[in-house]
Amino acid sequence: MDNTSQFTSLLTNATLSRVERMRMLPMRRRTNRSRGEHLAGKGGTSTEFNDYRDYVAGDDMRYVDWNIFSRLNRPYVKQYRHEEEMHVVVLVDASASMQFGDKFQRAKQLAACFAVMGLLNIEKVSVFACQHAGQTPLILSPCTGRISMKRVFKFLEDIPPGGDFPIEQAVESVLIQHRGRGIAVLLSDFLTFGAMERPMNMLFSAGLEVFAVQLLSGIELNPELTGDLRFVDSENGHTLDVSSVGDLLGFYHEHLNGLQDYLSTLCRQRSGRFICLDSSQAIDDILFDVLKRKGWVQ
Amino acid sequence: MNFPGFSALIHAWWFLLLIPLIIFYFLKLRRPRMEIPSLALWRQVVNDQRVNSPFQKFKRNLLLLFQILLLCCLVLAAMQPYLSSGTQQHQNLPVLIDTSASMGALDGPGGKSRLDEAKEKVSKLIDDLLPGQQLCLISVNGGARRLTDFTSNKRLLHESLSQLKVSQVASHLEDGFRLAQALSRAFPIDSVMLLSDGNVPHEVEFELPFKLNFQRLKAGGPNIGITDLNARRSRNGWDVFARVEGSKDAKTLAEYELLQNGQVIKSDSISIEGTKAERLVFKVAAEVAISIEVRIKPDGFDSLQSDNVAYLDLPKPRPLAVYCPTDMESFRKALAIIPDINLYPGDEGSPTAVDLKFAQGPLSSGPEARVNFNVGYVPDDIASLVEIESGLADIVDWQRTAPLLQHVQLLDVQIGDQPKLTKGVTERDFELAGYEILAQSRTGPLILERSGGGRTDFQFLFHPDRSSLVYRVGFPILVQNAAQVALTRAALSEAKALPAGSLPPRKVQPETEYRVSGPEGFTDSAKSDKDGFLMGLGAPYVGMYEVTGESEPQRIGVSLLSSQESSMSSVEKLNFPEVSVGAATQTVKTDQPLWGWFAFAGLLFLILEWWYFQKKPAGVPG
């Protein structure tokens, strides 16, 4: 395929075309007061009928259902759903640990997809990329509409990899700048020494429903290691001498499963979602198969 | 339980190498570096593992462990460990291996021979040799032959052992013991090992100066064989007698054949049961020299093949040629009554060689003879030992069983010649000179016999004419005995098959090189002496031998003819003059060297270490 004819290097046109017709399915309705596309309760002015109520003095006569009045000779007022705006925050972990395998590329692709879904559903979309600890994350300020797609893709394509920003600190620094309720999409490997309770609580308090996507490469999901090794942390350069690694793989898998259960529990307790993906899996499979089946998107 | 011992404990110093090994291991330890996304999970894993695995330190240095084990194995192997058998160890051990005919017996159809079994035992003995121990292999059959010097060279010992073959002769253990005794003068010997099937004489005429470990092998299977073959002159030719015997467990039918000059002239079958002997008698008419061969073919299994054939050469019948000077009137008169002899000198003169010669002076005069009867003369070689003086002497003792003196009464014979021994001379001096005393007076020997070189000399130091012997009944008997001895020597009256071992002396061209070739590629050579006697030619295998030299080739048949060997009997103990030695109830027990196992374990650890070291962890960049 000719790259010059592609809208973005992150997704093929076919994938993008299918993504444009998809939308995210939040577990709860967390919307801004500002008017938007999401139905958020009675009393709105949308075309979505919700209920009837007795007419009271002062009500807008335009909402009286005259057919009912003619049959019952009593005025009833039709109520319509209120439509509000939802803010989609996409946080891309750009630390050095994401450079292994296809993790970073897959994270950027998923971020693009979620952003496209938000933009084409008239949501506000903002993207954060966290690299180095202590530095301000790279920010794509809230934008909306198809017109912003190019900006979003450009921003994502230009995120440089490498850094040592732990995901829990990254979440806190994002929330310092972010305002608005909606969905927080966290794209990270969640391999951190810190605890994730605090950032999860902060996200929940901020009215953001967490869509946590853990991306792991093959060497993390199924490491095939033996012998005596000296592991070097890609983010901070710390070393760890491990003997007979092959004998420890059982422990490793136990701890990996434990981490996934822990993150899943944290998200579920806060009305969020968690999924662990193999970064080597094709983006189309993830989008149109895994996420659909899990009910993340439709 | 016996604990392992070490032959070379000095090598334990090599264990000190463990110190630099451990030091260098930790100095040189290099772990492959591997960058991973995060240590977060692995740190938890390692913390968890340390809690769960108290032997982590041990496991993490598996390479070091392999290296320590490898070094320990090598050092232990160098220390020459062995598992003691509990028996006393001898530094120099002569091993006598019986290679007589019965050792060729098989234990069953398609089985292995006794010698093969002995070889297996000796081979194990060689393999289990410890440092400092030496073996000397000696083959014992009719004689003894040293196969190797005292050596610990296993290759040499195995090589010599593999070349050992059965000699088809009867056992004669004394020679083996004497050889071991001779070796003990050069090397300290405490014990001698004898490996035999026990088919040896009970009595051994040897004073044991060392301990004897008699390892008796299992006896061979059922066997029948020809144990004797001889012939006696008859009126029309020869009466041939053959004896067939079996072992204790033999019970079979056998066909036999009599061949005359290679042609079968008679065949029949006989039944053999146990040790009961069967005597076969054949009549053979012959006017010329013939060769007789007797063969038996057992119907069932026969453990020993070499005793199934026997050969006998019968000379051309002729009268006995006797030379007796005319002045020995009494002897000529006694000879005249003996039938079928030609007495010389006669009308037609004297031949150059006769069968029996009478003389009363040096034997160099007159024709040559195999049997000489010399009277009234002291040979030059014993002239310094005894001299004859005038005076009366009487015979006080004589060998009544000697062929010459059988049925001859010498008591009260008055003799006019009195022997007088030189001062200090004893009977031993005569024996050293090669003489055997047949009759003795109070003052010295009167009748001597010397055998050797294919001839027999009877020396009468007195002259019978100056004694009352010629007037006794015994005198013609004495002369007849002499004629009988001559007949036997000339094989005119009877002939016996030759047993294996060595060929009998033969009269050939003087000082000529002769070569003998026989079965199984056997060859030997010898030179005849100045008298024309060819002696010392070996014949260790049953079969036909051909003696070649300047004259026409001569074929000689050699047979086993040993009742002992064919019987497959096995003695429980050997009786020496003062002690008896029983067969060992246990098999040969030796210290079991263990260095090979340690060396193998070392190799195993080396391979394991190599594999473990070379095993590249997956995911580690090359």
Interface check for B23 against chain A (CB to CB < 8 A): the answer is no
Yes or no: say if A152 and A179 are a contact pair by the CB < 8 Å rule.
no
- Distance of residue B618 Cα from the nearest chain A Cα, in angstroms: 5
Same domain, A232 and A141: yes
Domain end marker among A22, A55, A81: A81
Are the beta carbons of A243 and B40 separated by less than 8 Å? no
In a domain, A36, yes or no: no
pLDDT in the model for residue B618: 41
Q: What is the pTM of this model?
A: 0.53
Q: For all residues of chain B together, what is the average pLDDT?
A: 85
Q: ipTM of this predicted complex?
A: 0.80
Does residue B4 register a pLDDT over 80? no
Q: Which residues of A touch B616 (CB under 8 A)?
A: 227
Confidence band (pLDDT; 50, 70, 90) for B92?
confident
Does residue B5 register a pLDDT over 80? no
pLDDT in the model for residue A33: 54
Does residue B59 register a pLDDT over 60? no
Same domain, A155 and A200: yes
B37, B42, B620 member nearest A242 (Cβ): B42
- Distance of residue B45 Cα from the nearest chain A Cα, in angstroms: 6
Confidence band (pLDDT; 50, 70, 90) for B46?
confident
Per-residue pLDDT tens digits for B426-485: 889 999 999 999 999 999 999 999 988 778 999 999 999 999 999 999 999 999 999 999
- The predicted model gives A113-124 an average pLDDT of 88
Domain end marker among A51, A81, A111: A81
pLDDT in the model for residue B359: 92
Confidence band (pLDDT; 50, 70, 90) for B617?
very low
Does residue A294 register a pLDDT over 60? yes
List the 125-164 stretch of A: residues with Cβ below 8 A of B.
none
Per-residue pLDDT tens digits for A7-34: 888 889 999 999 999 988 887 665 555 5
pLDDT higher for A133 or B67? B67
- Domain extents for chain B? 1-31+54-83+594-622, 92-220+574-590, 225-317+561-567, 320-491, 501-559
Same domain, A176 and A290: yes
In a domain, A134, yes or no: yes
Which of B25, B45, B47, B610 should be substituted to probe chain A, the one whose Cβ sees the most A Cβ atoms within 10 Å? B45
Same domain, A62 and A171: no
Yes or no: say if A277 and A290 are a contact pair by the CB < 8 Å rule.
yes
Same domain, A160 and A60: no
Same domain, A75 and A124: no
Q: Which residues pair with A183 in a beta bridge?
A: A88, A209
pLDDT in the model for residue A45: 59
Same domain, A95 and A127: yes
Same domain, A75 and A119: no
- B501-559: which CATH architecture? Sandwich (2.60)
CATH number at residue A11: 3.40.50.410
Question: How many folded domains does chain A comprise?
Answer: 2
Give the CATH H-level superfamily of domain B225-317+561-567.
Immunoglobulins (2.60.40.10)
Residue ranges in B282-425 assigned as alpha helix (H): 329-336
Same domain, A101 and A173: yes
Same domain, A175 and A274: yes
- Distance of residue A244 Cα from the nearest chain B Cα, in angstroms: 6
Find the domain containing A150 and state its range: 3-30+86-294
pLDDT in the model for residue B622: 34
pLDDT in the model for residue A46: 61
pLDDT in the model for residue B619: 39
Does residue B621 register a pLDDT over 80? no
Same domain, A118 and A131: yes
Q: Which CATH number fits domain B320-491: 3.40.50, 1.20.120, 1.10.287, 1.10.8?
A: 3.40.50
Does residue B173 register a pLDDT over 90? no
- Distance of residue A19 Cα from the nearest chain B Cα, in angstroms: 30
- The predicted model gives A183-197 an average pLDDT of 89
Q: Which residues of A touch B32 (CB under 8 A)?
A: 227-230
Same domain, A186 and A139: yes
A260: nearest CA partner in chain B? B41
Per-residue pLDDT tens digits for B178-230: 998 888 888 888 888 898 888 888 888 888 888 888 888 888 888 899 989 99
Confidence band (pLDDT; 50, 70, 90) for B85?
low
Can B92-220+574-590 and B320-491 be said to share one CATH topology?
A: yes
pLDDT in the model for residue A1: 45
Are the beta carbons of B38 and A234 separated by less than 8 Å? yes
pLDDT in the model for residue B90: 67
Topology at the third CATH level for domain B92-220+574-590: Rossmann fold (3.40.50)
